[in-house]
Every structure is written in structure tokens, then in C-alpha cells.
């Protein structure tokens, strides 16, 4: 158990009282009824005070007609890269011109939750034009979460030299819960998040160190394994594993040198975690949620010795997907806060962060519906993509006064 969790467990909190509604532009918000009555383990872990930053937002649709867009990356110039789950990588200009599909990417398994997923510029993109992406890879026996890289052409029409740098094992025949984000630290490493493919059988693999289901993996930029990974000396473990016991991580970021992840719970129990080397985050043994049919998850408990507590959790869910730490000039009061895209009920969740703790929560732009990913544009405006058959890339900025 981490020192952080041990310290936080010294304080128990009962956070089940009715919360006041949050008044904000476009209506009110209240938490709603919980799915379980499992007590939080620590103060501030659940239902932080609701906030209203009273910022009037102005939304502009940059482009529509995207087919289930999943990931977005901001180019240093010339706009944005956007993935569509069915297997297309697109260039979108700032004025909304949508390119033909960029060539050179591998075949994807575009079934149910699978397809082309995240996209990110490499840490040295300005020098080598290397981009990275994650996808559902068709393999013998079914599907696997994979991460790959390649060189983006100067004219933004083609990726050359595409190569996998990680492929999840073993194969799964359930095209569900692929994860999957790819983020970088400042030391030449990539973190790739995976899911556990949903079924009762597969979810157990999140606890197995010889499988990369329900894990965060840490690799070098070329796919080799860092020598200081936590399980490299364990003959029964996969060397790539950084942390385990996760359900379906679709959001990740590195902030102040630390990895934060956010994962889907079942019916309740979405989790935000400071995700540390070698630690077990409990799925499917413990959870603050329940099965979709109302039954218990795993042990039926939310706490167990040797398994980490989430830093924060939700019940009912927000169905978290993308996550960013806001750094920009457009919303100065939000510096260092986390912005999380919500699929259900939709919109954007802002977490007010102080010294790594959640001290407040705000719900924004709920009428956007299913928001899959977020980024910050060059001028500090927020970019959001909506996950629909005809999805949009939307720009969100403070409304101009007067």
C-alpha cells in the first residue's frame, strides 16, 4: 500500500447526505441517487463540494460529420489530428477543413468498442514528426489493445514507417474495454493504458501479472522495456507492467512528474487514481460500484489490505474518457485543474485540485452529450470531440463581454 493511501485511510468519511443542487448556466445539477451504500475510506474521496465558476462559455463547432471520433492532438501549426473509431486519422484545419483519411495506418478491428483510438504527438515531434496512436488490433484469437508509432509527412497526408511498440496479450474474443490512452513523461517513457475486455472471465486477468489486461504499461518510446519497471525481475510477470487491477482506463496524464489515470467503473465506481509503480488498484476484487444487474462486484467490498483506494470516485458514474490538466490563458482560474470528458451523462467535469487533492467539482456544457476527448488549443481554448455517428470537434472559450 502506498504511503499516500495509508495516510488518507486514517480518516473515514460519511458522504451520503443529500447534496445541494448546483446552479449554473443552462440549468441545475445534483448528484442523484447512489447505486451502493459503500462508505468512502477517506475524507474528500467522494462528492467534493459543488462549484460554479460563473464563467459564461461560448462554443463554436469547428467541424462536424466525424464518425465516432475518439482522440485529438493539437499540431504546433495547421490545426489538429483527430481519430475516427472506424479506422481513419484526419487532419482538421483551424477553419474546419476536413482532410481525406491520412494514409499508412494499420488495419484496425472496428467492432463494438474497438477501432482506432488515441493519437498523440511524440515528445520530439518538432524534430522527427513522430506520432503515436493506440488501436484495437486484429490478432490470432481475436483482438488486442496495441500502441504504434510512425512519421507524419510534412503535407499531413501520410504516415510512414508505422510499427507497433506494444501489443496486449493474450488475445481476447470480446471487442470491449480496450482502454486506451498513450501519454509521455519527461524521461523518454510512454504509458499505455489497457482494459480487461469486460467479461466475467477476462476481468479476473486484471489481477494477473502474466497478462496485460487491466494494466498500465510503461515502455520506452521504441517499445523496449525500461530497466526500472517494477516487475522486470519477476519471472512470472510481464516486464511492461507499471500498475494493475484496473477496469477500463480511457484517460491518463502526467502532471508534475506523476501519472494520473481515470477509469470506468461498472454501475457506479468510476475512479481517479494517482497511479504508482507496482501497485494494485483492486479490480475486480474491490469496487465502489456494482454489477449492471445489481449484484456485487468481486468481494462485495470497496476496501481491502494491499489494494489501493481511488483518490476520488463517482456514483452515479460520469463514464470518464479523456482527461487533461488545464494550462492556458483563457481560463486563468482553472490553472492546474483537471478537465474530464463525460460520456454519461455527458459534458465536461472540472475538478478543482489543490496539492493533488480534489477540493471541488463542477459540471460544464452538459448539453454537449457524449464527450470523448479534450485538449487545450494554442490560445488556451478547450477543444472537445463528441462521440456520435456524426460527431463534432468543438471549441470552447470564455464568452466575450459586451
Question: Residues with catalytic annotation?
Answer: 177
Q: β-strand 69-74 against 80-84: which pairing, if any? A: antiparallel
What burial class does residue 58 get, using C-beta atoms within 10 Å of its C-beta: 0-12 exposed, 13-18 middle, 19+ buried?
exposed
CA-based nearest residue to 115, from 83, 86, 89, 90: 86
Go through 109-126 and write b for each residue having 16 or more CB atoms within 10 A of its CB, e for each that does not: bbeebbbbbbbbbbbebe
Residues 6 or more apart in contact with residue 165 via CB below 8 angstroms: 132, 147, 148, 149, 190, 219, 221, 222, 223
Three-state SS at 185: coil
Go through 15-54 and write b for each residue having 16 or more CB atoms within 10 A of its CB, e for each that does not: eeeebeebebeeeebebeebbbebebbbebbbbbebbeee
Q: DSSP label at 135?
A: E
Helices (H), 33-123: none
Q: DSSP label at 77?
A: S
Residue with cell 473515514: 12
* H or E element that contains 3: helix 3-8
| End-to-end Cα distance, the chain | 54
353: phi then psi, degrees, rounded to nearest 5: -110, 135
What burial class does residue 329 get, using C-beta atoms within 10 Å of its C-beta: 0-12 exposed, 13-18 middle, 19+ buried?
exposed
CA-based nearest residue to 374, from 399, 400, 337: 337
Amino acid at each position: 500500500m502506498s504511503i499516500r493511501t495509508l495516510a488518507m485511510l486514517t480518516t473515514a468519511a460519511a458522504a451520503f447526505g443529500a447534496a445541494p443542487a448546483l446552479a449554473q448556466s443552462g440549468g441545475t445539477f445534483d448528484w442523484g441517487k447512489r447505486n451502493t451504500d459503500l462508505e468512502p475510506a477517506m475524507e474528500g474521496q467522494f462528492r467534493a463540494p459543488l462549484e460554479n465558476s460563473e464563467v459564461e462559455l461560448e462554443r463554436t463547432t469547428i467541424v462536424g460529420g466525424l464518425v465516432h471520433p475518439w482522440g485529438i492532438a493539437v499540431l504546433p501549426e495547421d490545426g489538429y489530428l483527430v481519430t475516427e473509431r472506424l479506422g481513419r486519422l484526419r487532419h482538421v484545419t483551424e477553419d474546419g477543413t476536413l482532410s481525406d483519411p491520412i494514409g499508412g495506418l494499420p488495419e484496425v478491428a472496428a467492432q463494438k468498442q474497438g477501432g482506432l483510438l488515441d493519437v498523440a504527438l511524440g515528445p520530439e515531434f518538432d524534430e522527427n514528426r513522430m506520432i503515436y496512436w493506440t488501436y484495437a488490433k486484429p490478432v490470432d484469437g481475436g483482438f488486442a489493445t496495441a500502441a504504434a508509432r510512425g512519421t507524419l509527412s510534412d503535407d499531413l497526408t501520410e504516415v510512414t514507417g508505422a510499427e507497433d511498440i506494444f501489443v496486449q496479450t493474450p488475445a481476447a474474443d470480446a471487442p470491449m474495454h480496450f482502454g486506451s490512452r498513450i501519454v509521455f513523461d519527461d524521461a523518454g517513457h510512454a504509458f499505455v493504458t489497457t482494459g480487461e475486455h469486460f467479461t466475467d472471465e477476462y476481468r479476473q486477468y486484471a489481477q494477473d501479472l502474466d497478462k496485460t489486461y487491466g494494466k498500465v504499461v510503461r515502455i520506452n518510446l521504441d517499445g523496449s522495456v525500461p530497466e526500472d519497471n517494477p516487475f522486470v525481475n519477476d519471472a512470472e510477470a510481464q516486464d511492461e507492467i507499471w500498475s494493475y487491477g484496473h477496469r477500463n482506463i480511457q484517460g491518463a496524464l502526467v502532471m508534475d512528474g506523476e501519472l494520473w489515470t481515470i477509469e470506468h467503473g461498472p454501475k457506479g465506481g468510476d475512479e481517479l487514481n494517482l497511479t504508482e509503480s507496482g501497485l494494485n488498484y483492486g479490480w475486480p476484487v474491490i469496487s465502489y460500484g456494482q454489477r449492471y444487474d445489481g449484484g456485487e462486484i468481486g468481494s462485495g467490498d470497496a476496501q481491502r489490505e494491499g489494494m489501493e483506494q481511488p483518490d476520488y470516485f463517482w456514483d452515479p458514474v460520469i463514464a470518464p474518457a479523456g482527461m487533461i490538466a488545464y494550462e492556458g490563458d483563457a481560463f486563468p482560474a482553472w490553472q492546474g485543474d483537471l478537465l474530464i470528458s463525460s460520456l454519461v451523462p455527458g459534458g465536461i467535469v472540472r475538478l478543482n485540485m489543490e496539492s493533488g487533492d480534489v477540493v471541488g467539482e463542477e459540471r460544464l456544457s452538459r448539453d454537449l452529450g457524449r464527450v470523448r476527448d479534450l485538449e487545450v488549443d494554442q490560445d488556451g481554448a478547450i477543444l472537445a470531440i463528441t462521440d456520435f455517428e456524426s460527431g463534432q470537434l468543438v471549441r470552447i472559450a470564455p464568452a466575450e463581454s459586451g
